[in-house]
Amino acid sequence: MRINHKRHKALRAARTAAAWVCAVALMAAPVLAQTPALADAPAVATATLPRDLSPWGMFLNADIVVKVVMVGLIFASLITWTVWLAKTLEIWSAKRKARAGIRILQDARSLADADQAFGGRDDAVAKLVHIANAEVRLSGNASSEGLKERISWLLERLEVAGGRRVGRGMGVLATIGATAPFVGLFGTVWGIMNSFIGISNAHTTNLAVVAPGIAEALLATALGLFAAIPAVVIYNVFARSIGGYRALLADAGALVMRLVSRDGERVPLSLSRAAE
């Protein structure tokens, strides 16, 4: 009898525990059903997260304003490298011709000999010699101080013109280097604005809603730096190289003035010998 009584009490306790478990489960079911963070988070992430977060995918999913900014920065980068290639070849060729012209001036005994050695060449150093020789022929008196002053003025203007001609295109590099970071910053600000608008429309701070706009903003910033940094570096390299070219033209002008002075000394000497 005692065994049956204990068994009966155990069955009653088990039934009571099962009833409590069922009651707790029934009470928790509506709470879980009303929790949107757990039920909707995967759906929101699946619905808003782009399939491709590569640079090309971010470009395709970007706002039209951000796309225009990115295309403009890529175009500016192409201009930078085009100017780099063209100016590298131009400055290299100009320096090579200037050094060759300086060697001719160093070997020449008179301005007429130098003019004949240059022949029909039209580089910067040859123009210095041609215009100096033309001024001597027009003046007639190679020993006058006024002739030397006129030739010095002409040579100075030709040197400035040669440096200006080689320096063409440097303004484009300076403009790109100065403005590209700010253009990229504009794309960054616009992308962040779109991110906040997405957060407001979705009524959630889920990372899947914020990440695309932030990624687009950072990509615009990266493109701005990608366009600006090479432009600044190339500008500085060309500035030094053009300064070296101008120094070569100054050396050539000094050699031309030496020949003019040498020819001016020969004229009085020949006149004095003729008088004797």
**The predicted structure's pLDDT at residue 3:** 41
Q: Grade residue 274 by pLDDT with cuts at 50, 70 and 90.
A: very low
- 41-88 pLDDT tens trace: 443 444 444 456 666 767 777 678 888 888 999 999 999 999 999 999
- 233-253 pLDDT tens trace: 999 999 999 999 999 999 999
**The predicted structure's pLDDT at residue 238:** 95
Q: What does the pLDDT average to over 167-186? A: 92
Q: What is the mean pLDDT of the chain?
A: 77
**Every domain of the chain and the residues it spans:** 1-41, 52-268
Taking CB atoms within 8 Å and a gap of at least 24, the contacts of 111-120 are 111/136, 111/256, 111/259, 111/260, 111/263, 112/263, 114/256, 114/259
Between the two ends of the chain, the Cα-to-Cα distance in Å is 167
Q: Are 181 and 224 in contact (CB under 8 A)?
A: yes
**The predicted structure's pLDDT at residue 187:** 87
Give CA–CA dist 197/208, Å, rounded: 14
> Is the pLDDT at 173 greater than 90, yes or no?
yes
